[in-house]
A and B are shown apart, each in its own frame.
Chain A
Amino acid sequence: MRERAFSPDRVQFAWIWRAVWAACLLPLMLLVAGGLRDALGANPIEHITRATGDWTLRLLLLTLAVTPLRQLTGWHWLVRLRRTLGLYAFFYGSLHLATYVWLDQFFDWPGIVADIVKRPFVTLGFAAFVLMLPLAITSTNGMIRRLGGRSWQRLHRAVYAVGVLGVAHYWWLVKKDLTEPIAYAFVLATLFALRLWHGRRMRRTLEAQAA
Chain B
Amino acid sequence: MLIKRQTDIVPSEITPRALFDSRRDFIRAAGLGVGAALLGAGLSGEARAAGYGGQSLGLLLKSPLSTDEKLNDYKDITSYCNFYEFGTDKSDPSRNAHRMSTRPWTVSIEGMVQKPKTLAIEDVLKLAPLEERIYRLRCVEAWSMVVPWVGLPLSALLKQVEPLGGAKYVEFTTLADPKTMPGVRSAVLDWPYVEGLRIDEAMHPLTLLAVGLYGEVLPNQNGAPMRLVVPWKYGFKSAKSIVKIRFTDKEPVSSWTRAAAREYGFYSNVNPEVDHPRWSQARERRIGEFTKRKTLMFNGYGEQVASLYAGMDLKKQF
A residues contacting B by CB (< 8 A) are: 26, 29-30, 32-34, 36-39, 41-43, 45-46, 103, 105-106, 111, 114-115, 118-121, 172-173, 175-177, 179
Contacts and interface: CB of A to CB of B under 8 A. Distances in A.
Interface in B132-146: 141, 143
Contacts of A37: 27-28, 32, 35-36, 39
Contacts of B90: 41-43
A33 B38 CA distance: 8
Nearest to B31: A37
Which among B80, B278, B285 has the greatest number of chain A C-beta atoms within 10 A?
Answer: B278
Contacts of B39: 30, 33-34, 37, 39
B36 A106 contact: no
Interface in B238-261: 259-260
A70 B39 CA distance: 33
B34 interface: yes
Contacts of A114: 280
A106 to B, nearest CB: 5
Given A119-B280, A176-B189, 17 more contacts: A30-B38, A33-B36, A33-B39, A37-B35, A37-B39, A39-B39, A39-B44, A41-B80, A42-B90, A43-B80, A43-B90, A43-B285, A45-B290, A106-B291, A176-B188, A176-B260, A177-B188
Contacts of A36: 32, 35
Given A43-B143, A43-B285, A29 B38 contact: yes
B281 interface: no
Given A42-B79, A42-B80, A43-B80, A119 B43 contact: no
B101 interface: no
A41 B79 contact: yes
Which among A36, A106, A115 has the greatest number of chain B C-beta atoms within 10 A?
Answer: A36
A121 B278 contact: yes
A187 to B, nearest CB: 20
A173 B142 CA distance: 13
B35 A32 contact: yes
Among all A-B residue pairs, the 8 with the closest Cβ atoms: A33-B35, A42-B80, A42-B76, A177-B88, A39-B43, A33-B38, A42-B287, A106-B291
A174 to B, nearest CB: 9
Contacts, number: 80
Contacts of B76: 42
Which among A30, A41, A120, A172 has the greatest number of chain B C-beta atoms within 10 A?
Answer: A41
Contacts of B35: 29, 32-34, 36-37
B268 interface: no
B137 to A, nearest CB: 12
B79 to A, nearest CB: 6
A14 to B, nearest CB: 24
A119 B279 contact: yes
Interface in B42-96: 43-44, 72-73, 75-76, 79-80, 84, 88, 90-91
Contacts of A46: 143, 285
B285 A175 contact: no
9 contacts: A29-B34, A39-B39, A41-B79, A41-B90, A42-B72, A42-B287, A119-B278, A120-B278, A176-B188
A36 B39 CA distance: 11
Contacts of B278: 119-121, 172-173
B99 interface: no
A194 B285 CA distance: 43
Contacts of A118: 280
Contacts of A30: 38-39, 43
Nearest to A40: B43
B292 interface: yes
Contacts of B79: 41-42
A121 B259 CA distance: 19
B82 to A, nearest CB: 9
A148 to B, nearest CB: 43
Contacts of A43: 80, 90, 143, 285, 287
